[in-house]
């Protein structure tokens, strides 16, 4: 795909594409449409050597929709739209260190997240992505039929509640909103509102159980889906560099932040784009 000097280059067969030859500070309408189509087609897109100020990061995000201000993450000072994804040298716990998709616990889950590298370790800290299109399409017809009749309950309490993972880790001081936890129910198989493709919509980070099933009844099938969805052929891996940006579609991908840089600081700025109910 080419358009107005832009090249879209697939990162792997599973998901993801790098968008080359673009300055996100000065996107023309034509270039924006090329970028938008790449986002829809590939589930996650990557940009290199972007020198965005916080104001420019926010302006780019607003071209996609309303900004969903995170109620749990530490905000970036004077920019409440920007959440900080930070790990200090002395910390052992990172943010996002397990497969998940953002905001599936909301009644209207986030459309996407735009993550910009600010400070990086010399090595490590890659982010992995998995395509929920590919995961769904590789299932048997029988499994697709079964899942098509199910809904799942998603909750943020296990991650962000008072007894949750982050409040009981060395990241606890940066998190807030433990009294704002809640849950939502979504179809297990969604039809993406822009691509029209079907995608698997459960994730290990926030899915609790199938609606109408107990946790124990749900666990074997959920565990199968979680193992299936991260088969190597469905995934890609992104190595960060200064000025790198990843922009992923929360409705079509999972992601996983590698925690392999202990003793080094890593700071990323994330803006989340609001979404709509899924069906």
Among 42, 57, 68, 102, the active-site one is 102
CA–chain centroid gap for 143, Å, is: 25
Residue 270 is a catalytic residue: yes
Residue 255 is a catalytic residue: yes
Residue 222's H or E segment, with its range, is: helix 215-229
- Bridge partners of 6, per DSSP, are 3
Please check whether residue 84 is in contact with residue 267, taking contact to mean a CB–CB distance below 8 angstroms. Answer: yes
Residue with tokens 């300055």: 23
Please check whether residue 18 is in contact with residue 46, taking contact to mean a CB–CB distance below 8 angstroms. Answer: yes
- Bridge partners of 100, per DSSP, are 255
Residue 262 is a catalytic residue: no
Sign of the CA dihedral 140, 143, 147, 152? negative
78/114 Cα distance (integer angstroms) = 18
Pick from 230, 228, 180, 184: which is nearest to 208 by CA? 184
Among 57, 103, 269, 270, the active-site one is 270
Residue 118 is a catalytic residue: no
Among 42, 100, 186, 209, the active-site one is 100
Please check whether residue 202 is in contact with residue 139, taking contact to mean a CB–CB distance below 8 angstroms. Answer: no
Please check whether residue 100 is in contact with residue 254, taking contact to mean a CB–CB distance below 8 angstroms. Answer: yes
18/265 Cα distance (integer angstroms) = 25
Q: Write the CB contacts of 5 (distance below 8 Å, at least 6 apart in sequence).
A: 21, 22, 31
Q: Which residues are catalytic?
A: 100, 102, 255, 270
């Amino acid at each position: 795909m080419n358009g107005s000097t832009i090249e879209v280059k697939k990162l792997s067969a599973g998901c993801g594409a790098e968008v080359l030859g673009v300055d996100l500070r000065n996107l023309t309408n034509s270039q924006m449409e090329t970028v938008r189509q790449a986002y829809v087609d590939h589930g996650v897109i990557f940009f290199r050597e972007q020198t965005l100020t916080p104001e420019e990061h926010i302006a780019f995000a607003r071209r996609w929709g309303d900004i969903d201000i995170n109620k749990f993450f530490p905000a970036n000072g004077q920019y409440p739209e920007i959440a900080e994804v930070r790990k200090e040298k002395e910390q052992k716990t990172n943010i996002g260190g397990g497969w998940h998709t953002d905001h599936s616990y909301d009644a209207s889950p986030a459309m996407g997240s735009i993550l910009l590298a600010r400070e990086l370790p010399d090595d490590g800290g890659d982010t992995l992505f998995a395509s929920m299109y590919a995961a769904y399409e590789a299932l048997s017809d029988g499994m697709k039929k079964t899942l098509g009749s199910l809904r799942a309950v998603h909750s943020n309490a296990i991650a962000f509640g008072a007894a949750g993972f982050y409040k009981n880790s060395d990241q606890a001081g940066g998190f807030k909103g433990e009294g704002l936890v809640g849950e939502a129910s979504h179809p297990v198989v969604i039809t993406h509102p822009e691509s029209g493709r079907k995608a698997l919509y459960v994730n290990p980070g926030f899915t609790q159980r199938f609606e109408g099933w107990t946790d124990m009844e749900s666990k074997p099938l959920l565990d199968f889906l979680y193992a299936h969805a991260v088969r190597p052929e469905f995934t890609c891996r992104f190595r960060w560099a200064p000025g790198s940006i990843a922009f992923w579609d929360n409705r079509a991908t999972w992601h996983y932040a590698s925690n392999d840089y202990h003793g080094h600081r890593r700071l990323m700025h994330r803006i989340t784009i609001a979404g709509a109910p899924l069906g």
